[in-house]
Amino acid sequence: MAEVGQGVFTPQVFYRDPLAALHWLEAAFGFETSLVVTGEDGAVGHAAMTYEGSEFDIGGEWASPELIAEAAMKSPVSLGGAGTQFVRVNLKAGLDAHCERARAAGARITQEPTDQFYGARVYRALDLEGHVWTFQQVIAELSLDDMAKASGLSLRTKL
């Protein structure tokens, strides 16, 4: 299989201050800004960042009964820290150094780098507005059976 996940699902992450988020995510997590769309008022309406060839969107908080009926998009900072999704980032190498860079840039590390039963080393961080990001680096290729043995959990490929 060729490169997987390129563009089928694009995460959209909403911020109170999207411009500040772009700067912060570049500095802390090493993502690259790939698109910044500004309107006549100079405000960032839409933006995109890339990491290792995958793209995700950065947007502002918004609601619009005409455009999206009753839906509303908000930052965790407006919801007492609650979030409805997170983004997982697969690093090829350097997980611990990545974590230190993020910490130095102000990320709140909620789970320090730790080896997991499913064969990955993982850390978890909150960004400047409280979105949850998990970073993982594969350290062993395990089958579902291996993972089940290591954890005592049931792992299946069907519901």
Binding site for other proteins (CB under 8 A): 1-14, 22-23, 26, 33-40, 45, 51-54, 56-57, 67-76, 79-90, 130-132, 134, 138, 141, 143-144, 152-159
- Residue among 63, 65, 31, 36 at smallest CA distance from 48: 36
HSE (CB half, 13 Å, CA atoms) of 7? Answer: 3
If DSSP codes are grouped into helix, strand and coil, which group holds residue 92?
A: coil
* Smallest gap from residue 11 Cβ to other proteins (A): 4
- Residue among 73, 84, 71, 61 at smallest CA distance from 131: 84
User: Taking the CB of residue 126, how many other CB atoms lie within 10 A of it?
Assistant: 19
Nearer to other proteins, 113 or 129 (CB): 129
Look up residue 41 and give its two tokens: 């008022």
* Smallest gap from residue 12 Cβ to other proteins (A): 5
